Amino acid sequence: YEQGSGQTSREHPSMRYYKKLYDEFKAKDEELAMLQVEKKEKEKGRRKSNEVDETSKLLLSFSGDAAISSKYREDVKELELSALSAIDKEMENEEQRFAQKLQTFLQKKRREHRDVKVCCIHHLKGERSEHRTDQESVGRLDSSDSCFQPRHQRSSAETRQ
């Protein structure tokens, strides 16, 4: 219900305002697009022709003429699809590089854990560890033993003993 006119309609009162606003913006956009196309045509000699053509196609793809806009929108869609496929390919390459780095890291960690497990098994069985050079009892677990230290500290621990 509209108070001013006393009419009832199923349309929300603000819809007419937004339709009018949309039509005004569309008309201004068409004018701007045509001005930009004309400007690009003048600059065509100063810039790369394919860049000017792409910009002109993009601007024309939003023109009010349905035939022109549909033709140029297809060109713009093709350009977007080729750009997206290039991005997808680069993302796949990046994922593969990350997977390789992750696999290398996991292999390194497994080797380190295996080394610690082997040393622990040797100690528990009472065997002499190949890393130990001192005369302590073999069966005793000792945190100063080089096989219980990180790899970067092992060489310095072995040189001290």
Span 48-85, pLDDT tens digits? 556 656 666 666 666 666 666 666 667 777 877 888 88
Write out the two tokens for 98.
């990350």
Mean pLDDT of 7-21: 75
pLDDT tens, position by position, 112-134: 888 777 777 777 777 654 544 44
Task: Judge whether residue 161 has pLDDT over 80.
Answer: no
Residue predicted with more confidence, 78 or 149: 78
Q: How high does pLDDT run on average in the chain? A: 70
Locate all alpha helices (DSSP H) within 44-143, ordered by sequence: 49-60, 66-125
Task: Judge whether residue 145 has pLDDT over 60.
Answer: no
* pTM of the predicted protein model: 0.32
Domain positions in the chain: 15-46+76-129
Non-local (6+) Cβ contacts of 69 within 8 A are 60, 61, 62, 63
